[in-house]
Amino acid sequence: MLHDFISLFYPAVCAACGDSLFKHESVICNKCYVTLPQSNYHKNPNNPLATVLKGRFPFMEASAFYLFKKGSRVQKLLHQLKYKNRPDIGVLIGEWMAEGMKESTFAKADMILPIPLHPKRQLKRGYNQSTQLANGMGNKLSIPVLEDVLYRKAATKTQTKKGKSDRWDNVEEIFDVYPEANLEGKKVILIDDVITTGSTIEACANAIHKHKNVQLYILSMAFAEL
């Protein structure tokens, strides 16, 4: 009864479309669940994201769960996840990613590594959005999420309005792997919230490949094809 009373004044709404949620719905409504534009890239090894990254660094497969377009519900979800204190969005979508990819080679990884934020930015935001995605996926697939492997050496300006070359200049050589980390021979998922040019992913991958025989899998919540 208390929940119903509170809902009269503060109705729960879908994080994607803004419509009111029914009692059995949480965070994102069922209509958005079935209509958000999934890419199914994990079923196509030569997908557009893999094509963008091919030849830049070694990786086994690359996939993104959703397709990103400006003004879309996917953009709204990403904005709330990153800037509106909604880590629950990341966890839920991470769970959906796990369910959709449970039969793929991604599900056989040894670990999931979130793209790290600079400590100052994470303190201000309160959480790392990539870690929330990783936690949702890792919990469903029983894959450990490790935040003590990769780290960001310096803070950078937002990538949102930068061109491809500027994005690379902004992140080149700012990531590294902690000396005590052991990635040799491991199957590793590197996860981010959104990939556009792939500059951040490439910089992280270069740090990871300082270790030998790493099988690297690239994953993001969304891919914004230029």
In this prediction, residue 157 carries a pLDDT of 57
Q: Which residue has the tokens 């070359």?
A: 165
Question: Do 29 and 71 reside in the same domain of the chain?
Answer: no
* Residue 175 sits in the same domain as residue 187: yes
CATH code, 53:
3.40.50.2020
25 shares a domain with 125: no
Give the CA distances from residue 137 to residues 58, 81, 97, 159, in Å, rounded to whole numbers and listed in that order. Answer: 23, 16, 6, 25
Same domain, residue pair 22 and 120: no
- Tell me the mean pLDDT per 10 residues along the chain, length 226: 50 94 94 97 96 97 97 98 97 98 97 94 95 98 97 68 54 87 96 96 95 97 91
pLDDT of residue 11: 78
Do 209 and 131 share a structural domain? yes
- The pLDDT score that the predictor gives to residue 71 is 96
Q: Please check whether residues 136 and 164 belong to one and the same domain.
A: yes
Give the Cα separation of 200 and 117 in Å (integer).
Answer: 11
Question: What is d(CA 157, CA 200) in angstroms, rounded to the nearest whole number?
Answer: 12
Q: What's the pLDDT score for residue 166?
A: 54
Model-wide pTM > 0.85: yes
| Total number of domains constituting the chain | 2
Spell out the residues 6+ positions from residue 14 whose beta carbon is closer than 8 angstroms to its own. 20, 21, 25, 27, 28, 29, 31, 32
Q: Which domain holds residue 76?
A: 36-223
Report the DSSP beta bridge partners of residue 113: 190
**44 shares its domain with 30:** no
* Each residue's pLDDT tens digit, 47-73: 999 999 999 999 999 999 999 999 999
pLDDT of residue 1: 52
pLDDT in tens, 193-212: 999 999 999 999 999 999 99
DSSP string, 79-143: HHHHHSS-HHHHHHHHHHHHHHTTTSGGGG-SEEEEPPPPHHHHHHHSS-HHHHHHHHHHHHHT-
